[in-house]
Structure 1
Amino acid sequence: MKKVIFAVVLAAGLAACGDQPQELTASKQDSAAYTGTGKPYVQPGWTPGDKASWESQLKARNQYGQNDYTRMN
């Protein structure tokens, strides 16, 4: 009887060790980021599809929004 209980406990313990893989599957992007998503999300001054405009908007956002030296008075 003790052997059966030990076998059941051992099997349950080993089953708990079987971890499923938890890898994140990357989503495929069909187009470049600067092509835009639609009208509701367009920043004023940026034209969808214009890479230079996209880069200037990112530069301005990084400079004025995320640079602590320009945010301090």
Structure 2
Amino acid sequence: MKALFLVLSAALLLAACGDKPQSLGEGRKSVAPWAGTGVAAFTAPGWKVGDKTSWEGEMRARTQYGQNEYTRVGN
């Protein structure tokens, strides 16, 4: 009985080590990020699709005003 318990315990412990590998997949690697998605719902107003300079400006503004906790919280 004790041996059966040990075997079952070992099997359960080893089953916990069977994590599947997690990867992002292929994605859209061949397309430049400023090319856009083609869906209007995902496009910020005022952003010109395909314009690298406009895309960089939008990214700069997003990180400064939307994701910067120092500017969001205030003094």
> What is the TM-score when the length of structure 1 is the normalising length?
0.72
Distance 2:71 2:7 in 1: 62
Gaps in structure 1 of 5+ consecutive residues: none
Gaps in structure 2 of 5+ consecutive residues: none
> What is the TM-score when the length of structure 2 is the normalising length?
0.71
Give 1:50 shift. 1.8
Q: Paired residue for 1:14, among 10, 15, 27?
A: 10
Within 5 Å, give how 1:26-65 maps onto structure 2: 26-30=24-28, 31-37=31-37, 38-65=39-66
CA deviation digits over 1:37-65, x for unaligned, max 9?
Answer: 21111111112222211110010111222
CA deviation digits over 1:4-62, x for unaligned, max 9?
Answer: x1221111011011121243112222223222221111111112222211110010111
Report the identity percentage: 38
After TM superposition, where is structure 1 displaced by more than 4 Å over at least 4 residues in a row?
A: none
More off after superposition, 22-31 vs 39-48 = 22-31
CA RMSD for the aligned pairs? 2.0
